[in-house]
Chains A and B, each alone.
Chain A
């Protein structure tokens, strides 16, 4: 019966060739599709993998030699000397702390604001215009964003301090005091990247079924209970993914910091990637710069692996 059904003509479709089962045709079709898609995607994947892995390997190789363009000396394999020098370097320690800060604090704020905005807009019928406005910061190049915020936060020029004073709030010297400068970069970073989390989470929310919500409301659950017991669990995977992607975005702060604060005041906003940039492009100590970046990659891998494992674990559950 099953076989005769499988060989039956599909409603409105072509009759199947006699002697051929639907399951066999489907199987061969899927294999064919996989071959076509694989063929189309493989070159792109190979190129990207080659660039990423080749760059990483090249960095590792550089980090175990003594390449310094201003102190040319015979090329020497120095093993872990650069890594040991980094761990003894006070600037490395302060830069590392800042990197950890930027990988955690703005990311949490970006995802939180993105989630709040997504929750607020998920039920709006005509929210396209609002969504478009929210997405604008994401498309502003980081250099433009940095200059824009630098202008706003310059006293007597940008107006932010005047606005704060008018509201009776303190007007810090945003870019010339270490605490306010760090806050300034955090604000600019959050402004630029929270739309990414927003659009990701909004799409996830729109895919969530309404039935659990209706059932919960019928049972008299409060909105907070609904959020905590239904929304958050349903969004576990999208939230973890959003965190992961925002952590990756947090690695691209260099243009923003370069234009806003130049790593200052002093080195108050100089995370590890910026310090590596100074070492490589200002001091020309290429091996040391590569060492710092390898350490940064290793640090970012830890939360990334954790998040990916968590996502997989939840997905398989």
Chain B
């Protein structure tokens, strides 16, 4: 054995030293982390830095290059985080629930609004709209597209600045349909028939969202569900608002079953690409853009992107209509003001600036989308210089059928809708029959609504 410390003693002492160093390092990091809570990298906000959560949709991405302009004009630093839609809803909810200024402004849609308002996580914006130092001179609520401004309303107050108008359309390959002698389908049954004629192994007929989630498959599924007369709550009309008072589930009608079966048929008959039962919009749009599907029913926000990718081969039509009517979907995405933000004034300035007509048009051009929410933006020559008239024409045709209750405006819909999205996913993947899946969803929703009134 050597003089001095033995190997065993060295290992013992070394282990203790390493452990102490690890603890010390952890402690130092934790203290440093707390101390740097106001820095941009940690996501906190104080001292003029605004934290904004933006969705990774064309609008969120189109606005990103313009942020330095806002910073230069106002001197307010912006920590602008672009997150996928699946992640942002959870991350924003956690940050809002904390109520400690982790986030100042967050993206959200009409489906988040009832939930977040009920939970007390966001602030109404009405009190700030008359302050020109915050919203700019000449600001007027009458410039918003009426449907978009109305979509921000809940319990008599307005809760957000509209950022993006969303609805769904049919996008199709003119060349494939015309070579099959198929006219662009206008109804759900026409669509099914068209798929039968154009479907090939190399280029499936259609791609539709299958991934579980209210913002995933339900966004598209509801076109077919409501179109066949399906409803979620007793006393609700298809695509209409939930009745007042205590709600009860009604996902067990014959029309509900037909709606679910019809959506499942596109997958069951092999009209969709292999594996698409788990796809969300990144995969469905990539498949159509890459020439791997002849048709796509999805967000109008992707129309200009498709034109870029496919040129004259792509054309557009209204979403398919069912026996109960046309329910193309309507969402107004908006900026929400986090309750407890220490940067309220800066947040209002950001929201007003980013949704001003000029910035909307520039962001739309950057992000290649047409869903602006201001009338002056929609009618401006700058906007018309890149917004395709055929796409605008579809939007105009669908306008009378845009209803904010595509996602039923009630706090429980986030959960009830998720039960339905599980059922949809089970049916399209062949895991369960439509009857069995719907029965489970109805049972789950009924149980949930026993303890949740609305």
Contact = CB atoms under 8 A, between A and B. Distances in A.
B115 A70 contact: yes
A71 interface: yes
A203 B97 CA distance: 47
Identify which of B9, B86, B431, B452 gathers the most chain A CB atoms within 10 Å of its CB: B431
Interface stretch (B14-22, B329-337, B380-388): B14-22
B425 interface: yes
A303 interface: no
Nearest to A262: B212
Interface in B1-48: 3, 9, 12-13, 15-17, 19-20, 22-23, 26-27
Interface in B409-430: 411-412, 414-415, 418, 422-423, 425-426, 429-430
A41 B21 CA distance: 10
B254 to A, nearest CB: 23
Nearest to B423: A266
Contact of A283 (B276, B292, B415): B415
Given A47-B23, A156-B274, A176-B277, A284 B16 contact: no
B273 interface: yes
Contacts of A14: 3
Contact of A266 (B13, B429, B451): B429
Nearest to B119: A69
A40 B16 contact: yes
A136 B183 CA distance: 54
Interface in B247-289: 273-278
Interface string B54-93: 0000000000000000000000000000000010011001
B375 interface: no
Given A40-B19, A41-B16, A262-B211, A33 B414 contact: no
Contacts of B212: 262-264, 266
B180 interface: no
B118 A266 contact: no
A30 to B, nearest CB: 10
A156 B437 CA distance: 29
Contacts of A91: 444
B119 A177 contact: no
Given A266-B425, A266-B429, A36 B119 contact: no
A229 B228 CA distance: 68
A44 B275 CA distance: 48
B453 interface: yes
Contacts of A71: 411, 451-453
B274 A69 contact: no
Contact of B412 (A70, A157, A173, A178): A70
A44 B20 contact: yes
B132 interface: no
Contacts of B430: 177
A23 B3 CA distance: 17
A155 B275 contact: yes
A261 interface: yes
Nearest to B267: A176
Interface residues of B, number: 54
A70 B452 contact: yes
A238 to B, nearest CB: 19
B193 interface: no
B13 A72 contact: no
Contacts of A262: 86, 211-213, 278
A175 B278 contact: yes
B96 to A, nearest CB: 10
A154 B452 CA distance: 39
B94 interface: yes
Contacts of B426: 265-266
B120 interface: yes
Contacts of B411: 70-71
A177 B275 CA distance: 9
Interface string A30-67: 00010011001101100100000000000000000000
A29 to B, nearest CB: 9
A44 B26 CA distance: 9
B285 to A, nearest CB: 15
Contact of A284 (B119, B429, B440): B119
Given A155-B274, A173-B275, A177-B430, A40 B17 contact: yes
Contacts of A178: 429, 431
A265 B17 contact: no
Identify which of B3, B27, B212 gathers the most chain A CB atoms within 10 Å of its CB: B212
A154 B412 contact: no
A283 B16 contact: no
A157 B120 CA distance: 44
A220 interface: no
A74 interface: no
A154 B276 CA distance: 9
B418 A282 contact: yes
B432 interface: yes
A267 interface: yes
A267 B430 CA distance: 13
Interface string A174-210: 1111100000000000000000000000000000000
A284 B93 contact: yes
B412 A264 contact: no
A18 interface: no
B273 to A, nearest CB: 7
A265 B19 contact: no
Nearest to B214: A282
A148 interface: no
A265 B429 contact: yes
A264 B429 CA distance: 9
A168 interface: no
Contacts of B277: 173, 176, 265
A176 B429 contact: yes
Contacts of A278: 418
24 contacts: A40-B20, A43-B20, A44-B19, A68-B451, A70-B415, A70-B452, A72-B119, A156-B275, A176-B275, A176-B277, A176-B278, A261-B278, A262-B213, A262-B278, A264-B211, A264-B278, A264-B425, A265-B425, A266-B212, A266-B423, A266-B432, A282-B89, A282-B414, A284-B93
Given A47-B23, A90-B443, A177-B431, 16 more contacts: A37-B12, A37-B15, A40-B19, A70-B414, A71-B452, A71-B453, A72-B120, A174-B275, A176-B276, A176-B277, A178-B431, A261-B278, A262-B211, A264-B429, A281-B94, A283-B418
